Amino acid sequence: MFKSVLIANRGEIACRISRTAKRLGLRCIAVFSDADERALHVREADEAIRIGPAEASLSYLAIEKIIEAARLAGAECIHPGYGFLSENAEFAEACAVAQIAFVGPPPQAIRAMGLKDRAKALMEKANVPVVPGYHGEMQDSKFLKQKAYEIGYPVLIKAAAGGGGKGMRRVNRHADFDDALQGARREAKSSFGNERVLIEKYVTHPRHIEFQIFADRSGRTIHLGERDCSLQRRHQKIMEESPAPGMNAQLRKVIGDAAVAAAQAAGYLGAGTVEFIADGSDGLRADRFWFMEMNTRLQVEHPVTEAVTGFDLVEWQFRIAAGESLPVHQVRFEGHAVEARIYAEDPARGFLPSTGRLIEAKFPASPGVRVDTGVEAGSEITPYYDPMMAKLIVYGKTREEAIAGLSTALEETIVVGPQSNVGFLSAVCRLDAFRKGDLETGLVDDNLAQLVPPIDRFDRAAAALGAEKLLQRKQSKLADFLEETDATVSPWDASDAFQLSGTRRLSLPIVVDGETAIAEVDYGAGSPAVSVDGIYSAKDALAVWGPDAIYVLRLGRQTKVSSRGAGSGEVAGRDRTGVLCAPMHGKLLELRVKEGDKVAAGQPIAIIEAMKMEHTLLAPFEGFISELPLAAGAQVPEGAIIARVLPGPRIDH
Ligand code: ADP
């Protein structure tokens, strides 16, 4: 076994790998960018080496810097985790050249599976059923359109080099094909630098079922059962479980054997995942499984497999990389496990990533609940990396027990500061179809209105509670307040003065999630009753003080409330004023207009990249661009003015 490892990753997966590495007696070397200097994965390591600035391309993706760090620290092996360089064949090669063991498959295996079209061609040769479609070399638009017609609509256009659901377009009608192809190519080119596509039949009632496989140096390959990852939002996984509902031992053997054959065809070593798409319209059937792709690394959702098999997959990875044989011949499955991914994002605002300091981060510590996290209270969620903060993995004897446990665990989870998807995940747990095990990849998107109830401006009951707490705090500081110079100009101070003057009712200006509002305070017989728009303060909520505001957690959603004293106006106007602001810290990727340009309502003005996602700012109304203060390429803080649109025709002076 190795004596030391450099973990070429960050966040929860870096922490998770170091946990096993330490148990095995390895010295853990972390790497970090400037944005992660105080991150949990750095503090949990035995040693940590700075590898560059916050931008991933200059740090976590910089091959030479990581190899150099490994040399410097004398690391015997490198574990890449998932994401970043984990599926980069050149990185695996660079490790070999530097004579450092790469905890993963050989470069040829990574390459063989790196492009979806090539991988499918290889699978066909190995007699593994693949999704019907076209995955050849020809890329002529007319030819592809003809192929789509022959395959039969709906079809899915996929980027050959794709990942993370990017460069993918579903096409329902022949007439829509050209536009979709263009869009897929454009996205593929900008995301992967390769515009090649393949076309697949769009599987009806699709279920994503993947098999965990392991291979050792002798070529022995086994599978560790399946994971159902059908709960997705826009083709991205949000919850995973094992076993897959409806799976049985016989079917598992047939599909598991196909997964093993797939890995062997690629000359595999170590941990990998073979992803299948199944048509679940008539239960699970062996002749309705098709190979989709293989991920040549550890998956985010590997813990559900660990929970039902009792194995530590990271330990297996280390042992196999060190030359040991697979530790078992037979894998037994017991119970059921579900995983939920907790993201810093705001479901109510289209799942926009949310940044900032974590004021509170409490995860449940109950039996049967495993928490894999890379953050804690005080951690900074930056726009540079994936916004996943933690994973909850809940084990139960039955599926019902696991889901009930997950529901409770989510209720016990407290994340304050950035918005989180905790309430959304709780709502998913309550979905009838999910509880019944009636899964398909469109389930979440189809039920989005129910899962993310539209909020009318903001949660008034939460706002009222926030105002009530603010008032209590102010009143307890009465003496301080009377000394303030502007004590007479803010109604907040009048609230302190009421006891002197006998005022019965007060209107207090507050700021709720960036919007201004009025809290009404009624001094009846007992303690003051606070309401916003006639809704009284919530009793079923948790209030947490932050440095500049109070955060109210209610029904899984966070509402930020601060007092608005004289002159402390917060947040420039949004769309109504024609001012387009950066929704979060990020990079101004592209400006689609010039100063003075006429624009139509809804026309794209600028594209901002934050947390690995692109966000387009649209013109709120017809008019012209009166201001464009920043140039493309600029780093922008949240709230920065990107453009100003003035209504009506332009008047030249
Ligand atoms: P990526 O590598 O970008 O994640 P995948 O090929 O793994 O792309 O597909 C991601 C998801 O897209 C799948 O989990 C599934 O939900 C959906 N999908 C992919 N191929 C098909 C298909 N042929 N029919 C229906 N849905 C599909």
pLDDT in tens, 88-98: 999 999 999 99
Task: Pick the atom of ligand 1 nearest to 165's CA.
Answer: 3
Which has more pLDDT, 59 or 652? 59
Q: Please tell me the least confidently modeled range out of 26-35, 82-91, 643-652.
A: 643-652
Q: How far is it, in rounded angstroms, from Cα 344 to Cα 584?
A: 12
pLDDT above 80: residue 611? no
Which has more pLDDT, 568 or 562? 562
Model confidence at 609, pLDDT cuts 50, 70, 90, reads confident
Predicted local distance difference test score (pLDDT) of residue 536: 95
pTM of the predicted model as reported, rounded to 2 decimal places: 0.84
Predicted local distance difference test score (pLDDT) of residue 565: 57
In this structure, are residues 5 and 103 in contact, taking their beta carbons and an 8 Å threshold?
yes
pLDDT in tens, 393-415: 999 999 999 999 999 999 999 99
Name the closest-CA residue to atom 2, ligand 1: 163
Q: How far is it, in rounded angstroms, from Cα 169 to Cα 181?
A: 8
pLDDT above 90: residue 369? yes
Per-residue pLDDT averaged across 515-524, rounded? Answer: 87
Nearest to 92 by CA among 63, 58, 59, 118: 63
Q: How far is it, in rounded angstroms, from Cα 599 to Cα 578?
A: 12
CB atoms within 10 A of CB 567: 8
* 599 C-alpha to ligand 1 centroid (Å): 36
Task: Give 604's strand partners.
Answer: 618
Q: What average pLDDT does the chain have? A: 90
pLDDT above 60: residue 488? no
Predicted local distance difference test score (pLDDT) of residue 570: 32
pLDDT in tens, 281-328: 999 999 999 999 999 999 999 999 999 999 999 999 999 999 999 999
Predicted local distance difference test score (pLDDT) of residue 16: 98
Per-residue pLDDT averaged across 357-385, rounded? Answer: 94
**Does the C-beta of 232 come closer than 6 Å to ligand 1?**
yes
Nearest to 87 by CA among 51, 113, 68: 113
**Does the C-beta of 276 come closer than 6 Å to ligand 1?**
no
Per-residue pLDDT averaged across 360-367, rounded? Answer: 93
Q: Please tell me the least confidently modeled range out of 143-152, 473-482, 614-623.
A: 473-482
pLDDT in tens, 199-209: 999 999 999 99
Of all residues in the chain, the percent with pLDDT exceeding 90 is 77
Catalytic residues: 297
Predicted local distance difference test score (pLDDT) of residue 604: 85
Q: How far is it, in rounded angstroms, from Cα 468 to Cα 158?
A: 52
pLDDT in tens, 157-190: 999 999 888 899 999 999 999 999 999 999 999 8
pLDDT above 70: residue 493? no
Predicted local distance difference test score (pLDDT) of residue 615: 74
Q: How far is it, in rounded angstroms, from Cα 508 to Cα 517?
A: 8
**Does the C-beta of 163 come closer than 6 Å to ligand 1?**
yes
pLDDT above 90: residue 516? no
Name the closest-CA residue to atom 21, ligand 1: 202
CB atoms within 10 A of CB 187: 18
Task: Pick the atom of ligand 1 nearest to 203's CA.
Answer: 24
Pocket test residue of 118, 229, 230, 235 for ligand 1, highest count of atoms within 8 A of CB = 235
Q: Is 408 exposed, middle or buried (0-12, 13-18, 19+ CB in 10 A)?
A: middle
Q: Please tell me the least confidently modeled range out of 151-160, 180-189, 416-425, 508-517.
A: 508-517
pLDDT above 50: residue 278? yes
Predicted local distance difference test score (pLDDT) of residue 572: 31
Q: Is 525 exposed, middle or buried (0-12, 13-18, 19+ CB in 10 A)?
A: exposed
* 478 C-alpha to ligand 1 centroid (Å): 60
**Does the C-beta of 162 come closer than 6 Å to ligand 1?**
yes
**Does the C-beta of 202 come closer than 6 Å to ligand 1?**
yes
pLDDT in tens, 40-63: 999 999 999 999 999 999 999 999
* 235 C-alpha to ligand 1 centroid (Å): 6
**Does the C-beta of 288 come closer than 6 Å to ligand 1?**
no
* 508 C-alpha to ligand 1 centroid (Å): 51
Model confidence at 485, pLDDT cuts 50, 70, 90, reads very low
pLDDT above 50: residue 459? yes
Model confidence at 420, pLDDT cuts 50, 70, 90, reads very high
**Does the C-beta of 180 come closer than 6 Å to ligand 1?**
no
pLDDT above 60: residue 483? no
Per-residue pLDDT averaged across 365-374, rounded? Answer: 95
Predicted local distance difference test score (pLDDT) of residue 581: 79
The angle subtended at Cα 278 by Cα 274 and Cα 279, nearest 5°, is 170
Q: Please tell me the least confidently modeled range out of 12-21, 340-349, 520-529, 630-639.
A: 520-529
pLDDT above 60: residue 501? no
**Does the C-beta of 243 come closer than 6 Å to ligand 1?**
no
* 194 C-alpha to ligand 1 centroid (Å): 18
